[in-house]
Amino acid sequence: MHHSVEIAHLLGSKVLFPGKQTPKQPLIKLPSSSDCNHDNVGGVSVPCQFYNPVLNRRQQSAVRRILAAQNRPTPYVVFGPPGTGKTVTLVEAILQIHQRSRASRVLACAPSNSAADLIMERLLCSGLLGEGEIVRLNAIQRAEPPPSIAAFCEDTDNAHIAARCRVVVSTCMTAGFLHSLGLPVGHFSHVIVDEAGQATEPEALLSATLLSNTTGQLVLAGDPHQLGPVLTSHHANSLGLSLSLMERVMSRGPYLRDPAKYSDHGSYDPLMVTKLVDNYRSHSSILNLYSDTFYHGELEPRADPSVTSLMCDWEGLPTKGFPLLFHGVMGEDMREGNSPSWFNPVEIIEVVSHVQSVIDNSTFAPKLSDIGIISPYRKQVERIRWFLGRVGVEGVKVGSVEEFQVKRDWSSSYLLFVPLSSF
């Protein structure tokens, strides 16, 4: 990360400290599907429509804006509250760039392996990218990648192979290995950072410094109201490292919310920001709670009510119809030996008890794989998994906040148990 700070000046003030922009000529223009059935790109017939037919209006607008890149080289922000389809939007943009600009090279990054893997999986699922066109670059010390993407993976010892591909997917930190190859500034035409609100600024800049500071397009997708960079140094935190590039950029003039001026564009300048508001994940009662608190009451429930209301009649709820339960316990946080991680035996017992209650409820009977348990402490995660195994419950997902933030395909129920002391 020190290297990214040292070379950040190469990006120039328009990227680091963006100000008011004058729209440039579109870089890539996506024709309206009503204008044509196919477009000729470099002698190749390319469909005019979106590859993902279920994108909503704002997602489509974000894709068009990313392709046009009329604010280049300043960052374009896709601001997406939870469950609004940020990654789906980015995947569509990457596919369109790849198909419509034969000279393009895209670097898609995320702060964590799980988030980068998700991008890779969805790009491969499109069927539009084959061997030699896309690669997942991994740190050499990483454990085995998911089987679904393993055939397209290279480690950093083979970074030169990755550099030849037109689409490279990696974590923000692993992207730094590409600098060691001596790639020229401007090697990538587009750098797209998903979950950008979780990346420290040096992490995000490490990938961005491979862009041209005049024609490159940097896209930051995420939500500054969600989980920010995770730091272990109080000193670094006090000096501002916990402020992500995305959050800092969104505090500058061109990115500020202005409902009076941009009422037809979600209150933001469409040249700089697209805010996604259709939520495909949460029950409307839960959605309204954080929509009003953090998002000016603008979020819209679009999830299937038959799924989000599945637990509304669970006997463990204090209020029927409102699927949220706060359960306080009088337990004690403990540590084991020299381990720095905490666990709470009383909480673990209550968590497992709730899981068993949900499983035994014949009204909705969720699959075990549809139940998730979140804890901020690694030792608590280990103990919960062990206890669930002892009572014969296998298949429940237990993990950290970071792991769950990129797991988008939960179909039935969430159980979230977080110690109050962790807030």
What CATH number does residue 52 fall under?
3.40.50.300
pLDDT higher than 80, residue 270 = yes
Q: Are 277 and 298 in contact (CB under 8 A)?
A: yes
Are 112 and 10 part of one and the same domain? yes
Domain containing residue 379: 304-422
Which amino acid is residue 146, in one-letter code? P
Among 49-53, 121-125, 189-193, 403-407, whose mean pLDDT is lowest? 403-407
Are 150 and 25 part of one and the same domain? yes
CA distance 281 to 284: 9
Are 412 and 318 part of one and the same domain? yes
For residue 168, being part of any structural domain is answered with yes
In the chain, the number of structural domains is 2
For residue 291, being part of any structural domain is answered with no
pLDDT at 45: 46
Q: If you average pLDDT over every residue of the chain, what do you get?
A: 87
Are 396 and 257 part of one and the same domain? no
- Choose the final residue of a domain: 250, 281, 312: 281
Write out the two tokens for 83. 């469950």
Are 252 and 165 part of one and the same domain? yes
For residue 290, being part of any structural domain is answered with no
Q: Are 88 and 95 in contact (CB under 8 A)?
A: no
For residue 233, being part of any structural domain is answered with yes
pLDDT at 116: 95
* pLDDT band, residue 421 (cuts 50/70/90): low
Positive or negative torsion for Cα 386, 391, 395, 401: negative
* pLDDT band, residue 35 (cuts 50/70/90): low
pLDDT higher than 60, residue 303 = yes
Runs of H (alpha helix) within 24-85: 57-68
For residue 109, being part of any structural domain is answered with yes
Q: Is 116 helix (H, G, I), strand (E, B) or coil?
A: helix
DSSP 8-state symbol, 352: H
For residue 102, being part of any structural domain is answered with yes
Backbone angles phi, psi at 361, to 5 degrees: -80, 115
- Choose the final residue of a domain: 248, 281, 314: 281
Q: Are 311 and 297 in contact (CB under 8 A)?
A: no
Are 264 and 312 part of one and the same domain? no
If 0-12 CB within 10 Å is exposed, 13-18 middle and 19+ buried, where does residue 380 land?
Answer: buried
Are 203 and 102 part of one and the same domain? yes
Are 275 and 308 part of one and the same domain? no
pLDDT at 409: 54
For residue 237, being part of any structural domain is answered with yes
Measured CA to CA in angstroms, residue 214 lies from 17, 190, 341, 345 at distances of 14, 12, 46, 56
Are 89 and 201 part of one and the same domain? yes
CA distance 154 to 152: 7
Sequence-distant (6+) residues with CB within 8 A of 389 are: none
For residue 210, being part of any structural domain is answered with yes
Are 141 and 214 part of one and the same domain? yes
Are 232 and 137 part of one and the same domain? yes
Q: What is this structure's pTM?
A: 0.88
**Residue % of the chain over a pLDDT of 70:** 90
Are 206 and 322 part of one and the same domain? no
pLDDT higher than 90, residue 159 = no
